[in-house]
C-alpha cells in the first residue's frame, strides 16, 4: 500500500478518536468592558492535546518603559496570556487575555487583537496593558482548551486599522467570520465561512478578506463592502477522507499579485486566484506536513514544516522559497506552528506551540542568510506571533 492510500485508511480512524471536545467549564459571558484578566483553562475531554494550567504571569522586567520596537509578541495557547519576548534575551512580560489564545494581529498604533476562546482581547503593546475583551456574537459553546476548542482562530486587521476580522470555530459545525469595529470595540457583523478557520488574511487593498477553512478544504472570500461571500475549494490532494484527512489547508499568505499561497505537505504549493477561483499547483521539496507561512519583504515565502504526518515523511523544517521557486530547507528541532519575519527580512521567528502533540514553550530564531538556528525559551505553547512596530 502506498503512502497516499495508507493515509486515507488510517486518517479517518485517528480523526474519530480526536474529534470529541467537551468540558464542564461554564462559558464566560464577559462584556466588552471585561478587564482581560482571563480565567484558568478548563480540562479538555478526549485524546487531543491539553493546555497547561495558567501560571502567574511573569513579572514585567521593564515596568513603566515603552516596549522596544522589534519585540516579539506570542499567543500562549497553553495558558491565558500573551508574552512579550526580547528576540535575544527572552521573556519581558506577559498580559492576561483569555483562555487559549490562538492568533493575533498588531496594528500600526501598537494595539494587538488576540483571538481567544472567550472573545477578542485588546492589548496595548507599548505599555503592556490589557484594554479589555470583546465577546463573540456567535455561540461557540462552553469555553474549552486544546486543538478543537471553540472560539477565535485566525485573525487579521484591515490595512486602515478600522476593522478586525476574526475567524471563529464553532465545534461540530461551520465557522463564522466576525467583523469588529476597532473604534467602537464591538462586533458589527458575522459571515458564515467553512469549518475551523485556521487563518484569516486581508487583500492588500483591503477589499476582501480570506478565511482558510481547515476542515472543509476551502477558502471563503468575503467582500468587505457588502460582506458577500464565495467559496473556493483548495484541495490539491482531493477531499477523500473528509474530516479524517490530513491533506487539508492550514495557513495562507497573500502574494504581491493578490493570489493566495497555501503549502501542502512540503510537496505542493496551491496558488489560489481569489478573483476566478482558479487553483494552480507548484512543486515543493521539504516533504513535511506544513502549517504557518509568511512573506519576507522581497517576496520570499517561509513555510513551517511540522514533521511526518499524512503523506509527508520528513522531520520538521522551515522552507525558504525564493520568488523564482527555488527552495532551501532549514531543519528545525521538533514541531513548530507559525512564523513571523523581522522587518529587514533576515530573521525568521518560528513558534514552538504546535496545535498537536510535540509542542514546546519557546520559539526558534532562524538566521535566513546563514541557515542557522537557536532556541529561545518563552511563552506557554506559543502559536500566533508578531514582530512589534
Sketch out the chain's domains with CATH numbers. 3-49+62-387 (2.130.10.10)
Residue 124 grid coordinates: 496595548
**196-218 as b/e, with b when 16 or more CB fall inside 10 Å?**
bbbbbbbbeeeebbbbbbbbbbb
What's the predicted TM-score (pTM) here?
A: 0.86
Q: Which range among 16-25, 72-81, 180-189 shows the weakest confidence by mean pLDDT?
A: 16-25
H-run or E-run covering 229: strand 229-233
Return d(Cα 123, Cα 388) in angstroms, integer. Answer: 12
- Contact present, 211 and 194 (Cβ < 8 Å): yes
User: Which SS3 state, helix, strand or coil, does residue 133 take?
Assistant: strand
Write down the mean pLDDT value for the chain: 88
Inter-residue contact 74 to 378 (CB < 8 Å): yes
Secondary element (H or E) of residue 198:
strand 197-202
- How confident is the model at residue 57, as a pLDDT? 59
**pLDDT tens by residue, 123-166:** 999 999 999 999 999 999 999 999 999 999 999 999 999 999 99
43-47, 313-317, 324-328, 367-371: which range is least confident on average? 43-47
Q: Residues 166-180, buried b or exposed e (16+ Cβ, 10 A)?
A: bbbbbbeebbbbbbb
Residues 199-256 pLDDT 10s:
999 999 999 999 999 999 999 999 999 999 999 999 999 999 998 899 999 999 999 9
The yes-or-no verdict on residue 297 having pLDDT over 60 is: yes
DSSP state of 240: T
Asked whether the predicted pLDDT for residue 265 surpasses 70, the reply is yes
Cell of 15: 480523526
3-class SS letters over 243-292: HHCCCCCCCCEECCCCCEEEEECCCEEEEEECCCCEEEEEECCCCCEEEE
Residue 172 main-chain phi, psi, to 5 deg: 70, 20
Q: Alpha helices, DSSP H only, in the chain?
A: 3-18
Amino acid at each position: 500500500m502506498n503512502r497516499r492510500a495508507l493515509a486515507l485508511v488510517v486518517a479517518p480512524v485517528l480523526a474519530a478518536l480526536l474529534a470529541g471536545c467537551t468540558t464542564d467549564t461554564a462559558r464566560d459571558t464577559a462584556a466588552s468592558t471585561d478587564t482581560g484578566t482571563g480565567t484558568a483553562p478548563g480540562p479538555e475531554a478526549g485524546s487531543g492535546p491539553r493546555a497547561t494550567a495558567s501560571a502567574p504571569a511573569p513579572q514585567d522586567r521593564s515596568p513603566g518603559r515603552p516596549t522596544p520596537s522589534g519585540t516579539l509578541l506570542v499567543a500562549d495557547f497553553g495558558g491565558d496570556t500573551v508574552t512579550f519576548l526580547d528576540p535575544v534575551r527572552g521573556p519581558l512580560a506577559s498580559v492576561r487575555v483569555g483562555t487559549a489564545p490562538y492568533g493575533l494581529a498588531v496594528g500600526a498604533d501598537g494595539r494587538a487583537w488576540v483571538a481567544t476562546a472567550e472573545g477578542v482581547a485588546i492589548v496595548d503593546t507599548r505599555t503592556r496593558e490589557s484594554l479589555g475583551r470583546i465577546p463573540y456574537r456567535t455561540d461557540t459553546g462552553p469555553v474549552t482548551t486544546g486543538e478543537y476548542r471553540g472560539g477565535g482562530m485566525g485573525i487579521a486587521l484591515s490595512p486602515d486599522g478600522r476593522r478586525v476580522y476574526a475567524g471563529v470555530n464553532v465545534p461540530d459545525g461551520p465557522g463564522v467570520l466576525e467583523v469588529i469595529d476597532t473604534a467602537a470595540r464591538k462586533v458589527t457583523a458575522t459571515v458564515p465561512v467553512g469549518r475551523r478557520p485556521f487563518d484569516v488574511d486581508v487583500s492588500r487593498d483591503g477589499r476582501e478578506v480570506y478565511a482558510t477553512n481547515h476542515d472543509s478544504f476551502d477558502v471563503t472570500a468575503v467582500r468587505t463592502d457588502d460582506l458577500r461571500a464565495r467559496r473556493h475549494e483548495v484541495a490539491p490532494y482531493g477531499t477523500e477522507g473528509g474530516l479524517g484527512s490530513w491533506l487539508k489547508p492550514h495557513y495562507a499568505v497573500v502574494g504581491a499579485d493578490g493570489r493566495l499561497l497555501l503549502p501542502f505537505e512540503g510537496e505542493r504549493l496551491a496558488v489560489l486566484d481569489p478573483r476566478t477561483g482558479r487553483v494552480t499547483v507548484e512543486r515543493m521539496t521539504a516533504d513535511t506536513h506544513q502549517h504557518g507561512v509568511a512573506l519576507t519583504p522581497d517576496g520570499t515565502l517561509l513555510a513551517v514544516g511540522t514533521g511526518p504526518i499524512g503523506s509527508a515523511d520528513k522531520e520538521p523544517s522551515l522552507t525558504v522559497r525564493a520568488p523564482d521557486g527555488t527552495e532551501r530547507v532549514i531543519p528545525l528541532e521538533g514541531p513548530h506552528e507559525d512564523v513571523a519575519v523581522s522587518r529587514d527580512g533576515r530573521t525568521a521567528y518560528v513558534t514552538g506551540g504546535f496545535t498537536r502533540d510535540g509542542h514546546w514553550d519557546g520559539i526558534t530564531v532562524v538566521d535566513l542568510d546563514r541557515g542557522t538556528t537557536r532556541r529561545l525559551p518563552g511563552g506557554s505553547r506559543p502559536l500566533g506571533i508578531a514582530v512589534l512596530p
